[in-house]
Amino acid sequence: MSHDESLEVEVYLQPPPADALAGASAIVLDIFRATTVHAALFAGGAEAIYPVADFAAGVALREMLPGSVLIGEVGALPPAEAAFGNSPTEFTAMEVSGWTVVHVTSNGTRALSEARQADIALSGCLRNVSATLSAVLERRPERIAIVCSGDGGGTAPSVEDSFAAGAYVAALKRMRPDIRLRGGARLALKLYDAYGRAPARAFADSPHGDHLRKLGFDADFGFAGALDASSDVIELAADAAGRPVLRVR
């Protein structure tokens, strides 16, 4: 695609039907906390992350992948089946090099599992905005879809994901001033600007953030809000058995 053609950008404030992503380059966001956990794990040298929608499937997959580690949450806390939870700062304090991870969350891993019909799907967060967008733009796409994982299993928008989507749109506008914004993208950008482009201000208004604070996960907010702290591009692919797996490009 040449730069004189308009690049269309859409933001879905909660996951759309899977077929809506066909033909698009998709970036999936779950700022509290799945996609930020991916950034933390890969920064520590993890080898692969398998996003799974529920713990029954996660347990089964762990048994099929010898040596893998099952992590995740239900209601923000790890259930008995999980070796570890879903806090990014939990993993920054651990030795995770070489890990193969099976990851189950209420929102983000569901959204990633449903993004396989996109031409390419990436796990994005505030920590890797520029790297993720540069990788997408290298493919010269006609359409970019930014997918917010949302709350309640993807049934409602979340403040933090919508804010982060606005950060992606703002960065895209700097990188490609000719982009054409659809309704969701314009709304996300306005929200981003309304918070003064400050993650801490948006996070303070997040109901899910309030829940995490009550559980003692305050350290996660500074980590999640560190814009462009990582250059990792985290891509959803398929393993030899056709299962969705995340790896660093």
Percent above pLDDT 90 for the chain:
95
Query: Cα–Cα–Cα angle for 67, 59, 158, nearest 5°?
Result: 110
Residue 5 is predicted with a pLDDT of 59
pLDDT for 4 beyond 60? no
Q: What would the pLDDT profile of 89-105 be if each residue is shown by its tens digit? A: 999 999 999 999 999 99
pLDDT of amino acid 19:
93
pLDDT of residue 200: 97
Give the three-state DSSP class for 217. coil
On the question of pLDDT at 129 being above 80, the answer is yes
pLDDT band at 233 (very low <50, low <70, confident <90, very high): very high
Nearest to 208 by CA among 166, 167, 163, 160: 160
CA torsion sign for 6, 11, 12, 18 is: positive
Dist CA 97 CA 86 (whole Å): 17
Question: Residue 128: pLDDT above 70?
Answer: yes
Q: What is the mean pLDDT of residues 9-28?
A: 96
Q: Is the pLDDT of residue 3 over 60?
A: no
What are the two backbone dihedrals, phi and then psi, of residue 62, each rounded to the nearest 5 degrees? -55, -40
Write down the mean pLDDT value for the chain: 96
**Burial (CB count within 10 angstroms: exposed 0-12, middle 13-18, buried 19+), residue 61:** middle
Confidence check: pLDDT of 144 > 90 = yes
CB-CB neighbours of 125 under 10 Å: 35
Question: Over the stretch 162-175, which tens digit does the pLDDT of each residue have?
Answer: 999 999 999 999 99
187 falls in which pLDDT band (50, 70, 90)? very high
Positions of E strands within the chain: 8-12, 25-29, 48-52, 69-72, 100-104, 120-124, 143-148, 180-181, 234-238, 244-248
pLDDT class of 43 with cuts at 50, 70, 90: very high
What is the distance of C-alpha 139 from the center of its chain? 20
Q: pLDDT tens for residues 65-78?
A: 999 999 999 999 99
Confidence of residue 6 (pLDDT cuts 50, 70, 90): confident
Determine the Cα–Cα distance for residues 55 and 143; give it in Å rounded to an integer.
33
